[in-house]
């Protein structure tokens, strides 16, 4: 009886050792896309009233956990029964990310003047519009997180395909949890920088080293938000290009002497332009049929 218990404990210890190694490898392989995930979601989690930043971020975080709960079981099942479906899902997700990234660039280049020209709205209408914009942005962030989560889960799963099923399940779950907590934890720190700065300034009477740190945090936040908006947009395009590059054979061997990051950006940009064009055509066709 005792020997049986010790044997089970030995098996559990061996499994945990194996999982610790595979989780480390999988996390390293997903580090790049986790950086992109941070940039994209930090940009999407900012731009709200100070009192709404953490509730909005919590809503996005819950959506991210729900995404992982949906994606991980499906990915494990598809990997066993229908592995080609994973590649198809990745490519469709890449098209969505490319579209979203290029649409942001077009919006910035051609439609900024339209936003500035809008007349001021009554306070009640502004509040209503803010709530509507908040829901829209949360939905967009969760949708984008869903695409990026697919990529993270697939990369993590790909690093343990030669391991037993139990090891695969535990490793992918650990990476999914770490990805969500890590990314949104850092985002929470970023969006609350100014509050921390104001508290330091208030506590130390706007004098001394710590008060200077507080002023630096307050002044740095708008710059970081603008930077994250730019980085997040380009991250969308790079991630989408990376999906096409690694999952479509033609692109995998396309321009072998060109740096990978340039190919990823070029392919993602081209795909985004095509998707924006198709969406514009689709809207025009819809208008014709709705008249």
* Low-confidence stretches of the chain (pLDDT beneath 50): 1-2, 6, 117-118, 120-127
Do residues 246 and 252 touch, judged by C-beta distance below 8 A?
Answer: yes
Number of domains composing the chain: 1
Instruction: Dump pLDDT digits (tens) for 65-74.
Output: 999 899 889 8
Residue 166 lies in a domain: yes
Residue 129 lies in a domain: yes
Q: Say how many Å lie between the first and final Cα of the chain, rounded.
A: 79
- What per-residue confidence (pLDDT) applies to 127? 45
- What per-residue confidence (pLDDT) applies to 104? 84
Q: Which domain holds residue 55?
A: 15-290
- What per-residue confidence (pLDDT) applies to 163? 77
Instruction: Dump pLDDT digits (tens) for 230-259.
Output: 777 787 788 788 878 877 888 877 787 888
- What per-residue confidence (pLDDT) applies to 80? 82
Helix locations, 30-164, DSSP H: 31-44, 50-81, 84-110, 112-117, 123-158
Residue 190 lies in a domain: yes
- What per-residue confidence (pLDDT) applies to 43? 65
Q: What is the per-residue burial (b if ≥16 Cβ within 10 Å, else e) of 29-52?
A: ebeebbebbbbbbbbbbbebeeee
Q: For residue 121, give the DSSP letter.
A: -
Give, in degrees to the nearest 5, the angle at Cα 242 between 240 and 244: 75
Which residues touch 52 (CB under 8 Å, ≥6 apart)?
Answer: 134
Residue 4 lies in a domain: no
Q: Provide the 10 A C-beta neighbour count for residue 211.
A: 17
d(CA 87, CA 89): 5
Query: If DSSP codes are grouped into helix, strand and coil, which group holds residue 51?
Result: helix
By the 10 Å C-beta count (0-12 exposed, 13-18 middle, 19+ buried), 131 is classed as: exposed
d(CA 242, CA 244): 5
Residue with tokens 């229908």: 82
- What per-residue confidence (pLDDT) applies to 126? 42
Residue 2 lies in a domain: no
Residue 3 lies in a domain: no
Residue 248 lies in a domain: yes
Do residues 142 and 63 touch, judged by C-beta distance below 8 A?
Answer: yes
Residue 117 lies in a domain: yes
Residue with tokens 């945090």: 217
């Amino acid at each position: 009886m005792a020997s049986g218990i010790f044997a089970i404990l030995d098996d559990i210890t061996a499994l945990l050792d194996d999982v610790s190694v595979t989780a480390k490898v999988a996390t390293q392989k997903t580090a790049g896309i986790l950086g992109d995930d941070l940039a994209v979601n930090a940009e999407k989690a900012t731009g709200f009233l100070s009192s709404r930043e953490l509730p909005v971020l919590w809503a996005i975080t819950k959506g991210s956990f729900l995404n992982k709960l949906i994606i991980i079981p499906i990915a494990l099942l598809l990997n066993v029964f229908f592995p080609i479906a994973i590649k198809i899902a990745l490519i469709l997700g890449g098209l969505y990310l490319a579209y979203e990234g290029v649409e942001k660039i077009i919006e910035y280049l051609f439609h900024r003047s339209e936003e500035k020209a809008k007349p001021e709205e009554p306070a009640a209408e502004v509040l209503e519009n803010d709530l509507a914009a908040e829901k829209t942005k949360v939905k967009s962030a969760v949708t984008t997180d869903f695409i990026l989560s697919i990529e993270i889960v697939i990369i993590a799963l790909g690093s343990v395909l030669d391991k037993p099923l139990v090891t695969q399940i535990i490793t992918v779950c650990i990476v999914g949890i770490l990805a969500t907590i890590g990314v949104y934890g850092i985002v929470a720190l970023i969006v609350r920088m100014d509050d921390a700065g104001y508290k330091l300034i208030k506590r130390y009477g706007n004098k001394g080293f710590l008060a200077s740190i507080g002023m630096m945090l307050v002044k740095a936040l708008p710059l970081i938000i603008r930077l994250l908006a730019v980085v997040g947009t380009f991250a969308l395009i790079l991630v989408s290009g990376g999906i096409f590059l690694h999952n479509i054979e033609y692109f995998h061997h396309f321009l072998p002497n060109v740096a990978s990051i340039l190919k990823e950006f070029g392919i993602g940009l081209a795909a985004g332009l095509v998707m924006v064009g198709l969406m514009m055509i689709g809207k025009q066709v819809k208008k014709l049929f709705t008249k």
